[in-house]
């Protein structure tokens, strides 16, 4: 298997840590991009020749070019970029403030976008590369209490879907990973944030808050198995544009597609009636 070089953000724990371990076990090189270098010092000590720890905050857009440059200086190439760093804010849309919403957009969209832009020239030059965007089942569906989180993941999905078509001619692949619940620490008290509950929504969202807070350590998904799947796909000949991970993700996303199609069909005639009657459908490039 050809050795690949990875950049993985948020590699200190969860999916990022599992991906770093899986890629290193496969004989690949890994740049573990983390805010706290000490959190992955053991990986660098165990794999001194193939692991580089880089201090990196995804929200620092200006630092993206330096991270890519350091990767190329150390390993000479960049094959796989994984935008993994992330967290959640739970609360009603009326409870989550501008600052909280903006931070999630910076973390889940603007930061990954900056890193992709920094990585693309090197990938285009070699005519190969894989961009892995860690989204969520919450990037394809939403429900009360997670509007801010889903908004940022929906944005990442739309941006990445367009990106996939733009870079495919250069031999570069894009894969959106959409996990359900995995034991990654995502639901831990130091990762998930709960907006201050208001009297209006306290009872309405009580179950959602309790469910999100109580899931830590009880999630059905195994990060190591998920990481093995992603690493295997990155080394393979084909990757899906979207990869739901976990039974719940497969079932929920499938159900959302079916419900959406049923709604489109139900209102199809009403929707079609909005067009001019004497104008034929235009030819579109996609």
The pLDDT tens digits for 24-39 are 999 999 999 999 999 9
- The first and second tokens of residue 60, run together, are 């620092």
The sheet with strand 172-179 has its strands ordered as: 51-55, 29-34, 5-9, 80-83, 129-134, 172-179, 242-245
Report pLDDT for 181.
80
Sign of the dihedral defined by the CA atoms of residues 59, 65, 66, 68, in that order: positive
* Mean pLDDT calculated for residue range 135-152: 92
Q: Long-range contacts made by residues 99-107, C-beta under 8 angstroms, separation at least 24? A: 100/148, 100/193, 100/195, 101/148, 101/151, 103/59, 104/148, 104/149, 104/151, 104/152, 105/151, 105/152, 105/155, 106/58, 106/59, 107/58, 107/59, 107/152
* Pairing, β 80-83 against β 5-9: parallel
Q: Which of 12, 22, 50, 147 is catalytic?
A: 12
Q: Is 46 a catalytic residue?
A: no
Give the Cα separation of 242 and 177 in Å (integer): 6
> Looking at the chain, how many residues does it have?
286
- The first and second tokens of residue 143, run together, are 């429900």
Q: What is the pTM of this model?
A: 0.92
What is the gyration radius of the CA atoms in the chain, in angstroms? 20
3-class SS of residue 50: coil
- The first and second tokens of residue 66, run together, are 């330096």
- The first and second tokens of residue 55, run together, are 């201090």
| Cβ-contact 133, 176 below 8 angstroms | yes
The pLDDT of residue 69 is above 90: yes
H or E element at residue 242: strand 242-245
pLDDT digits (tens, 9 = 90+) for 205-246: 888 888 776 666 567 778 999 999 999 999 999 999 999 999
Q: Is 254 a catalytic residue?
A: no
| Cβ-contact 155, 113 below 8 angstroms | no
Q: Which of 22, 50, 136, 153 is catalytic?
A: 153
The pLDDT of residue 91 is above 70: yes
Q: 194: closest CA among 140, 146, 138, 141?
A: 146
pLDDT digits (tens, 9 = 90+) for 98-109: 999 999 999 999
79: left (phi over 0), alpha (psi -120 to 50) or beta: alpha
The pLDDT of residue 258 is above 70: yes
Which residue, chain included where needed, has tokens 């998904």? 221
Q: Is 12 a catalytic residue?
A: yes
Report pLDDT for 203.
85
Report pLDDT for 166.
98
Q: Which of 22, 50, 135, 152 is catalytic?
A: 135
The pLDDT of residue 168 is above 70: yes
Report pLDDT for 26.
97
Q: Which of 136, 149, 160, 180 is catalytic?
A: 149
Residue 128 CB-half CA count within 13 A: 14
Average pLDDT, the chain: 92
């Amino acid at each position: 298997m050809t050795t690949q070089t990875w950049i993985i953000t948020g590699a200190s724990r969860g999916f990022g840590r599992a991906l770093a371990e899986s890629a290193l076990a496969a004989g690949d090189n890994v740049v573990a991009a983390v805010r706290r270098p000490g959190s992955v010092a053991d990986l660098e000590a165990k794999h001194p020749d193939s692991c580089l720890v880089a201090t990196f905050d995804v929200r620092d857009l200006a630092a993206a070019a330096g991270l890519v440059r350091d990767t190329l200086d150390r390993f000479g190439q960049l094959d796989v970029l994984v935008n993994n760093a992330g967290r959640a804010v739970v609360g009603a849309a009326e409870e989550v403030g501008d600052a909280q919403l903006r931070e999630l957009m910076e973390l889940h969209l603007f930061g990954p976008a900056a890193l992709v832009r920094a990585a693309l020239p090197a990938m285009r030059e070699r005519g190969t590369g894989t961009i892995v965007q860690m989204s969520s089942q919450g990037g394809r569906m939403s429900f009360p209490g997670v509007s801010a989180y889903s908004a940022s993941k929906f944005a990442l999905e739309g941006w990445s879907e367009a990106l996939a078509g733009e870079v495919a001619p250069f031999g570069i692949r894009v894969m959106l990973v959409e996990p359900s619940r995995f034991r990654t620490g995502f639901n831990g008290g130091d990762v998930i944030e709960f907006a201050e509950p208001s009297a209006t929504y306290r009872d309405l969202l009580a179950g959602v808050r309790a469910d999100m807070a109580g899931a830590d350590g009880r999630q059905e998904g195994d990060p190591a198995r998920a990481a093995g799947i992603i690493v295997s796909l990155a080394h393979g000949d084909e990757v899906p544009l979207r990869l739901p991970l976990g039974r719940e993700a497969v079932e929920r996303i499938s159900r959302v597609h079916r419900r959406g199609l049923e709604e489109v069909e139900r209102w199809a005639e009403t929707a079609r009636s909005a067009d001019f009657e004497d104008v034929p459908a235009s030819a579109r490039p996609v």
